[in-house]
Amino acid sequence: MNKKVTVRKCTAYNADEIYNIISDIYKTSGGPDPANKKVLVKPNILSENDPSKCVSTHPAVVDAMIRYLQSRGATVFVGDSPAVHTSKFRGDKCGIHQVCEKTGATWVNFLEDPTEKKINGRSIRIASITDSVDLIISLPKFKNHELMYFTGAIKNTYGLIPGFTKALQHGIYNDRNSFGRFLIDLTETITPHYFLMDAIMGMEGQGPGTKGKPVQVGLLLGSTNPLALDITASRIAGYNPLLLPTNKIALERKKWLGSEAEIEYDGPQLNTIIKHDFQRIPATASRNSALKFLMGRLSFLRKLEKRPVFLRESCTACHKCIKICPAEAIKQSPSDSRHIVLTDSKCIRCFCCAEACQDDAIDVRVKLFGV
């Protein structure tokens, strides 16, 4: 497999400028020929938010990628499955549906007639468009992730699972390492053919939802190799790449890379573009079976873990957090629709609720003595 990652500076969301940079990145990093092919462009649309929030891949990047593929003779489809997925979702507020209308690309509803794939011996629903296109182009966003520390190429494949099926996987793979293994299994089963990361503006702090903070990164990154791209991007964010479970586990499997040293880097000198002041997710120990057992017996230990904290003053009673929780650990107080109650003993710390909340009403932090 190609092990090259191309990085180019890009400081503004100007679709024409991005088009020219993508043309360079795609060719330099060995992107597949899209001529006369059906291509699915899969951005990262976590939720319906204005592009300035940096929650999703910026529409200007999607626009430029679509036009580049069309200029090479491709027929382009676009789709994703957000955290809370309804049949009416089509990426309006994030501006991606408007890009489809402008460019003539076809928006695909992943909920319509999904297919099934076997992953770890289990049948999982996958967007059926994956079986009818020749190429999949993944457009991840450069941003933090409370559970996985940092989200990138491997994590973006998760959006090919439509609807509540995504949240259910958190209930099955309910710690950082097991969920990381599942993400790698999924990406090995359905590997997009190319990855272009939007790092013009990234997200630091409490990502990947609206609690995260937009931050200028000023880059676009491209590769056919998801692990090489994720290692490079996480290093630019100032992480030790081996801290990320997906990076560490994928390297151990040696499917995409045998070692970090095999990456062929093409771009500005790496030490000049690392974001040393990037607000990273603090590293915590993954809960192995022994630690889970202790926490079950010694409930006070769970107080030392970060958990969802619900902010009544910001809550709009949309109850998306209740709907998405795979552990059924969240409910509404009978006396107040904006008072959300967490059964801490049931909470698996997947933070799906925080991802789904669009009102900045959920903090992820250690909560002691009701504070």
Non-local CB neighbours of 369 within 8 Å, separated by 6+ positions? none
Q: How far apart are CA 186 and CA 181, in angstroms?
A: 9
How confident is the model at residue 345, as a pLDDT?
Answer: 86
Query: Tens digits of per-residue pLDDT, 46-105?
Result: 999 999 999 999 999 999 999 999 999 999 999 999 999 988 999 999 999 999 999 999
Task: Give ranges for CATH 3.30.70.20 in the chain.
Answer: 289-366
- CATH dotted code for 4-272: 3.40.50.11440
> Phi and psi (nearest 5°) for 335?
-100, -10
How confident is the model at residue 236, as a pLDDT?
Answer: 98
Task: Look up residue 321 and give its two tokens.
Answer: 């957090």
How confident is the model at residue 120, as a pLDDT?
Answer: 87
How confident is the model at residue 108, as a pLDDT?
Answer: 98
How confident is the model at residue 285, as a pLDDT?
Answer: 58
- Please check whether residue 202 is in contact with residue 362, taking contact to mean a CB–CB distance below 8 angstroms: no
Helices assigned H by DSSP within the chain: 15-28, 59-71, 96-103, 153-156, 165-172, 176-189, 226-236, 245-253, 289-297, 320-324, 352-356
- CATH dotted code for 289-366: 3.30.70.20
One-letter amino acid at 268 equals P
Kindly write down the DSSP assignment for every residue of 295-348, as one continuous string: HHH-GGGGGGSEEEEE-TTT-----HHHHH-TT--EEEETTEEEEEEE-TTT--
pTM (predicted TM-score): 0.92
- 369 conformational bin, left if phi > 0, alpha if psi -120 to 50, beta if neither: left
Low-confidence ranges of the chain (pLDDT < 70): 285-303, 368-371
Task: Give ranges for CATH 3.40.50.11440 in the chain.
Answer: 4-272
Query: Tens digits of per-residue pLDDT, 171-201?
Result: 999 999 999 999 999 999 999 999 999 999 9
- How many of the other CB atoms lie within 10 Å of CB of 251? 19
SS3 71: helix
Non-local CB neighbours of 348 within 8 Å, separated by 6+ positions? 170, 171, 174, 175, 326, 327, 329
